Amino acid sequence: MGDIWPFEVAAGASVSSSIIETMSSPLPPRPGQQPPSPQPLPGVGAIIAVGSGKGGVGKTTLAVNLAIVLSKLGHKVGLLDADVYGPNVPLMLGLNAQPKVLGDNRIEPLEAHGLKVISVGFLNPGDKPLIWRGPMLHSIIKQFLGSVVWGELDYLVVDLPPGTGDVALSLIQTVPLTGAIVVSTPSDVALQDARKAIEMFRQMKVDLVGMVENMSYFVCPHCNHQTDIFSRGGAEKTAQQFGVSYLGEVQLDPDIRKASDSGRPTVLAGEGSPSGKSLFNFTRKVVTRVDEIKANAGESVIQIQ
């Protein structure tokens, strides 16, 4: 497998899903071999990972809306869909094209709603799953970071798969993350796994931007009665217990789901709706926290022990 891209494609051609079937696995690291130190991405001001311990908590929805709001606030933003097991970013952004391979074997990201976007979903569209081993996952994450022409960005938002597995580790080993956001619903089941995600980032010496509570409550559109379907306030309590910032709550709103399914994320309509307001507030808190982390970081570089 090549050092730049895991398969050979002619310049100007589309990256097609059929190529994935011919990909050869890279050799695993030699026993005792230390991974190289993470290297900054030239021109990228901050890299933010969005993760969760459990699937189904709305992590990708928040990552996509976060990226769009950052762009609407005047920042240059990229979105890397690293959820290789369920790459839903193309659907949520209404993208069904494939990225182009440039003459130097670098990849040109697609653009949507002011974002530069790359996703495994562009390479393997449809319902066919990707069944990859750890070394293959590490290779694709490394190449999405290093071979995609991101250009000058203020923020690169990375949507991680749920859990604490290979993809998160590969990301942390490849680039120095500015920080990570942990998404959870307020239910005890989701929070149990969210705590594991917090501990993973801490063990990997990644700063926590904070924790956000998604699907915090539901307001009936007919009678305006508020129902705490998944309980409420659990993420805020967990954030306090673990000493991380609480980034706010986002209500369970059918309009958010409809907007995501249609490829027109809800924040494109602004912050006039309750859900839009909460997502804008969440993003502003993220900006504040990232500025704090960068101010405190100095010249330190994350090292994987």
Q: Does residue 49 form part of some domain?
A: yes
Burial classification of residue 126, based on how many CB atoms lie within 10 Å of its CB (0-12 exposed, 13-18 middle, 19 or more buried) = exposed
Q: How far is CA 241 from the centre of its chain?
A: 24
Q: Please, which residues bridge with residue 49 across strands?
A: 158, 180
Q: Does residue 36 form part of some domain?
A: no
Domain that holds residue 264: 44-296
**Nearest to residue 117, comparing CAs of 166, 59, 77, 168?**
77
Whole-number Å distance between alpha carbons of 73 and 107: 27
- In the chain, which stretches have pLDDT less than 50? 1-10, 16-28, 299-305
pTM of the model: 0.85
The label of the residue with tokens 């009665």 reads 225
For Cα atoms 260, 264, 265, give the angle at the middle one, nearest 5 degrees: 55
Predicted local confidence at residue 295, as pLDDT:
93
Q: Does residue 116 form part of some domain?
A: yes
CATH number of domain containing 128: 3.40.50.300
Predicted local confidence at residue 71, as pLDDT:
98
Q: Does residue 64 form part of some domain?
A: yes
DSSP code for 75: -
Q: What is the pLDDT of residues 282-292, one digit of tens each?
A: 999 999 999 99
Q: What is the pLDDT of residues 248-283, one digit of tens each?
A: 999 999 999 999 999 999 999 999 888 899 999 999
Whole-number Å distance between alpha carbons of 96 and 285: 32
Q: Does residue 220 form part of some domain?
A: yes
Predicted local confidence at residue 39, as pLDDT:
87
Predicted local confidence at residue 237, as pLDDT:
96
Q: Does residue 152 form part of some domain?
A: yes
Whole-number Å distance between alpha carbons of 274 and 271: 7
Predicted local confidence at residue 187, as pLDDT:
94
Predicted local confidence at residue 174, as pLDDT:
87
- 172 vs 38, 104, 115, 167, 293, CA distance in Å? 7, 26, 23, 9, 16
Predicted local confidence at residue 5, as pLDDT:
44
Predicted local confidence at residue 88, as pLDDT:
93
Predicted local confidence at residue 32, as pLDDT:
61
Predicted local confidence at residue 34, as pLDDT:
66
Predicted local confidence at residue 265, as pLDDT:
96
Q: Does residue 9 form part of some domain?
A: no
DSSP code for 80: E
Q: Does residue 18 form part of some domain?
A: no
The structural domain count of the chain equals 1
Instruction: Give the pairing type, strands 110-112 and 115-119.
Output: antiparallel
Q: What is the pLDDT of residues 47-62, one digit of tens each?
A: 999 999 888 899 999 9
